Amino acid sequence: MKVTVFVSPKTTVLDPQGAAVEQAIKSLGHHSIEGVRVGKTVTFEMEGSDTPEIRDEIDRLCDGLLSNPVIEDYRYEITSE
Amino acid sequence: MKVAIIQFPGSNCDWDAEHSVEDVIGLPAGRVWHKDSLPDGTEAVIVPGGFSFGDYLRCGAIARFSPIMKDLQRFADQGGQVLGICNGFQILCESGLLPGALVRNDCMEFRCLNQGLKVEESNDRFNSKILGDNLSLPIAHGEGNYRASDEVVAELETNKQILLRYMPNPNGSINDIAGIRNNAGNVYGMMPHPERAVEDHHPCLDGLPVLKAFLQPLLNSSPVELSA
């Protein structure tokens, strides 16, 4: 199965990259856009199927390595492909 | 060796840290590879600056899982003296030895300059009587913007855990925080580079008293005397 992890800066944490991108978007004339946040995507293949144990393992990975809970949130999607 | 300097792939201030401790201050120091153990008899550990593991994922995120970090955790739990400088500070935050995290500078630029700092009255080793009211130390970082929850920042302020504040703020760091310590007073972290300010050919010499303050338990059993 394929796992896609989305890591994003917490809404309470300043996101300088998001702010810079938002400025660029506005300078292109898109004034109706705001709240830009820049995160990252991590994808990997994993053996097994979508079970609570597998989700525990992915959560542990996300909480320790792939994201820093002080500054980031994460969510992930599991697809069988 | 009394002072162990941890070397990760991508560390680049390890030799400077060793030189400043051993040749300038005169304490036996040595570099320890991140896959090795802390040598017996280690009395202080410096986690040096650089770009450990290429800063991939987040600064310090991968170094945090290096084998030596278990030793370092144990060493710190037992009251051992630990100092993280720049990337070392980021690693200590990622590993939970210090609270908070360091994110991208708000200016989105790498900041490399001789930075003005205000010395806080933190404890009997780090205060303005010993270090002076103000210091100037080199900074060189892209991710030095200190962030923590409001509760954590309030705790840092209440417990006097803030060592140094930027003056002026180069990176958007909350409450101008440039360096902190843990509540127990044995783990220190700062973005400025004291090891780059210890000799006459450096931009200034303010790093010397900062390193000596950190190493004070090794240098002398009594508190550092106020210099005349």
**ipTM of the prediction:** 0.87
Residue B225: inside a domain: no
What is the reported pLDDT for B225?
A: 44
- pLDDT tens, per residue, chain A with 81 residues: 999 999 999 988 888 889 999 999 999 999 999 999 999 999 999 999 999 999 999 999 999 899 999 999 999 999 986
Q: Quick one: pLDDT at residue B59?
A: 96
Answer yes or no: is B116 within a domain: yes
Q: Where are the domains of chain A?
A: 2-79
A9: nearest CA partner in chain B: B103
Over residues B20-60, the pLDDT tens digits come to 999 999 999 999 999 999 999 999 999 999 999 999 999 99
Nearest chain A residue to B108, by CA: A16
Residue A68 forms contact with B (CB below 8 Å): yes
Q: Do A16 and B149 touch (CB under 8 A)?
A: no
**CATH number of the structural domain spanning residue B86:** 3.40.50.880
Does B227 reside within a domain? no
B146 located within any domain: yes
List, for residues B118-152, the tens digit of each pLDDT value. 999 999 999 999 999 999 999 999 999 999 999 99
Residue B145 lies in a domain: yes
- For chain B, the average pLDDT equals 95
The three-class DSSP label of residue A36 is: coil
Provide the residue range defining the domain that includes B125.
Answer: 3-219
CATH number for the domain running over A2-79: 3.30.1280.10
